Chains A and B, each alone.
Chain A
Amino acid sequence: MSRDDIMGEIARLKKRISELELELENGSGDLDKTSCNNSAVPELDLDEYVRYGRQMLVPEVGKSGQIAIKQTKVLVVGAGGLGCPALLYLSGAGFGTIGIMDHDTVSLSNLPRQTLYSTASIGKLKVDVALDELRSRNANVKYVIHPVAAMHNNIFEIVRQYDIVLDCTDTPMTRYLLGDVTRLLNKPLVSASALRTEAQLVVLNVGADGPCYRCVFPDPPQYVEACSDAGIIGPVVAVAGVLQALEAIKLASGHQAGQEPTMTLLSAIHGRPWRCVRIRGRQKMCMVCGDAPIVSESDITTGKYDYAEFCGGSLDSSQYPDIDSSHSISVRELHLQMKSPHVLLDVRDRTQYEICSLPGSISLPLSDILGSSEGGETALAGVLDNVKSVSVPLFVICRFGNDSRTAVQLLRTRYRLANAFNVMGGLYMWSEHVDRGFPMY
């Protein structure tokens, strides 16, 4: 605990002591109240009337809603771009217990949108920083940290301790795992996701006919883009995280049951900004909650049901071809070779090329080479003619050295270009080993 935390805690306890002394004087202590009320219902502390007053003034919440929120235990899985704003508002709203689950540490690129963390947090465990930050804002909440990744063999025991779960994660595998576990344990799941300028939100496992994650998405996606590659605008993901907190408040105060299932889509820049679309209900054929479910708790905990296999190996770097070492060069070799005639092809997308590029490099996005039958091939033909006519080496570079492998394989097989070479580790390694002044992003 920091000095400020201790001072805050002392102040809170002093206030609490004076409240209790006052109650004792007036002869109306908690004991008297609990003897006539249901002893399971927590009363609000005097300072909580002040703290949550604005929220309690709303008739849809009221005192009963506030007490219901105080009785609710909510788990936030993933303390990133969705989790941070969600946690801030869950804590503010006065949930009784908030679980924070994340195994990751804070990095510089998190700071613009992961609002619980500051420059001083870099390198620290997210759950530790989040705990301190949230406690300094509202110490009435009980916080529980889970500094682990959601895995098939730990997730049931954790989810069991909570009433509502927020999916603030970022990979399909974790999303399916969490979807199945919450369905099997019958806990409402508020699931959100975001990328670039768009976000999606859906409330699952609610009501007799409410769908689970797998009802809505029976088959795993074959192509997945991550925020680290495709980008994200901070407020877009934050809006989705705040909406998750709102849905949790609605669930806890009894404002969700009986609604037909919907999904909310935010498109911040293009087309209609908001859509609330009707989605399918519980599916008879669902593997987890259908009429003949196939996946049970023990299938998951024992690993008999394999999420990695279900989601396919396509989600890691194994989808990139192996390039023979004789067809690859290091960034240091590239640096030397750049003094002789050569062609350097940068296959990142144009937005990334505009952020930074090596002098003299030619921009030709991999998606143009792979996808477009017009522009890409024309542009590529120009590059190839140039390389072939003067027979100079063609070096292919990208951000991390993955897309460049795909490009080199294509150039060597489809275009029979025997002097195409992959620059291993891409611009990331260039900035590490050749030019530390070259920006990485």
Chain B
Amino acid sequence: MAVPLTVEFSGGLEALFNNERSINLSLESRDGSENSPTITDLVVYLCEKVMMDKRRELFVIDGYHVRPGVLVLINDADWELVGEENYVIQPGDEILFASTLHGG
């Protein structure tokens, strides 16, 4: 089942996605089943279909794990609070990938 959602990038990550800061998409589970997609499904989709930049290591490490230094916020909550990579995406979810900042 395709689930509509909004994905946003900030903190410099947008540079990897053609400087798009917000994209709307409709996502299916990558095993083609009727299950709703998870965050991992989304990350794979972003890497395979959306990211134009070849430097995948700036977004993910060890396959499709979001690299340290990137905050993942699901509907304004740290993804750690809702199941991290296994969170099942709900229709209308707003998912933000934000690079942590260090300047001062």
Contact = CB atoms under 8 A, between A and B. Distances in A.
B88 to A, nearest CB: 19
B52 to A, nearest CB: 6
A152 interface: no
Given A83-B104, A223-B58, A195 B11 contact: yes
B21 A82 contact: no
A280 B103 contact: no
Interface string A220-264: 111111110010100001000000000000000000000000010
Contacts of A230: 12, 103
B85 to A, nearest CB: 15
A232 B98 CA distance: 17
Interface stretch (B30-38, B42-50, B68-76): B68-76
Contacts of A217: 68-69, 100
Given A198-B101, A217-B68, A222-B61, 11 more contacts: A168-B104, A169-B104, A193-B102, A193-B103, A194-B101, A194-B104, A219-B69, A222-B69, A226-B103, A279-B81, A280-B80
B103 A275 contact: no
Interface in B52-104: 52-55, 57-58, 61, 67-69, 71, 73, 76-78, 80-81, 96, 98-104
A168 B12 CA distance: 20
Contacts of A370: 54-55
30 contacts: A83-B104, A168-B104, A170-B103, A171-B102, A172-B102, A193-B102, A198-B10, A220-B68, A221-B100, A221-B102, A222-B61, A223-B69, A224-B102, A225-B103, A227-B104, A237-B104, A263-B71, A265-B98, A270-B10, A277-B76, A277-B78, A278-B78, A279-B78, A279-B81, A280-B78, A280-B80, A280-B81, A370-B54, A371-B16, A373-B54
Nearest to B73: A277
Contacts of B71: 263
B101 A195 contact: yes
A195 to B, nearest CB: 4
Nearest to B79: A280
Given A371-B55, A374-B52, A195 B12 contact: yes
B67 to A, nearest CB: 6
Given A223-B58, A276-B76, A371-B16, A199 B101 contact: yes
A194 B103 contact: yes
Contacts of B100: 193, 200, 217, 221
B97 to A, nearest CB: 12
The 6 A-B pairs of least Cβ separation, nearest first, read: A221-B69, A219-B68, A371-B53, A227-B103, A170-B104, A193-B101
Nearest to B15: A367
Nearest to B22: A271
A175 interface: yes
A136 interface: no
A287 to B, nearest CB: 14
A169 B71 CA distance: 20
B14 to A, nearest CB: 8
Contacts of A100: none
